A and B are shown apart, each in its own frame.
Chain A
Amino acid sequence: MIATIVPIAMALFAVAALLNLYRLAIGPDIVDRILALDTLMINSIALIVLSNIWMGFGMLFELALLIALMGFVSTVAMSKYLLRGDVIE
């Protein structure tokens, strides 16, 4: 049962990632693109975890944790740059 569900879940997450790419491409503002990248990171964590089940490694969590960290830090850093970058203060 799991062997059939995992590819289906992966396909759903792949569609989600495509939707994120669509938003990343059309923008319209840079904040939308940051949001799209952030969501893409989150969805890729799920894809990694699912492929981990699929291939039966059981050792890709460090990667998932690393991507979660990188996604968070880069999102906050880019937002922070926008907050400081072109502000009329």
Chain B
Amino acid sequence: MTSIDMPWTLQLVIVGFLLFGALVALIGSWGLAKLPDIYTRLHGPTKASTLGVGCTLIGSLLYFSHQQGGVSFQEALVTIFLFATAPVSAHMMGKAALRRRLKGVPGTRNMPDR
């Protein structure tokens, strides 16, 4: 860790990204653990975890771009990949849940009866 020679504004931005990302991802996983049925649980990971990890990756991108001189794009690739695939996997899991006729929580409106 040699972050002494980094300007403090950049450090602040990186720290902001890392902390915000970790908090959002934690809330996403908290939702996964606590929400009552599979359909509501789908929301936490698809949105919060993806954004949280995305922010962490951007923080890392900024850090290594400064450390190694020149921009490293690989984290950006991972971020884009995560954002492109998260809705697809959520869609597939939701479809599987519907096919297995999993019940929603009582009070779910318009529960499909297939």
Contacts and interface: CB of A to CB of B under 8 A. Distances in A.
What DSSP secondary structure best describes chain A's contact surface?
Answer: helix
B38 A32 contact: yes
B105 interface: no
For chain A, the bracket of interface size reads 35 or more
A71 to B, nearest CB: 8
B89 interface: yes
Interface in B32-86: 32-33, 38, 41-42, 44-45, 49-50, 52-53, 56-57, 60, 63-64, 67-68, 72, 74-75, 77-78, 81-82, 85-86
Interface residues of B, number: 56
A5 B6 CA distance: 15
B97 A29 contact: yes
A53 B1 CA distance: 7
Contact of B28 (A16, A50, A62, A86): A16
Contacts of B85: 68, 72
Given A35-B42, A61-B75, A87-B99, A1 B12 contact: yes
Given A2-B14, A68-B78, A22 B33 contact: yes
B26 A16 contact: yes
Interface of B: 1-3, 6, 8, 11-12, 14-15, 18-19, 21-23, 25-26, 28-30, 32-33, 38, 41-42, 44-45, 49-50, 52-53, 56-57, 60, 63-64, 67-68, 72, 74-75, 77-78, 81-82, 85-86, 88-89, 92-93, 95-97, 99-100, 102
Interface of A: 1-3, 5-6, 8-10, 12-13, 15-17, 19-20, 22-23, 29-32, 34-36, 38-39, 42-43, 45-46, 49-50, 52-54, 56, 58, 61-62, 64-65, 68-69, 72, 75-76, 79-80, 82-83, 86-87
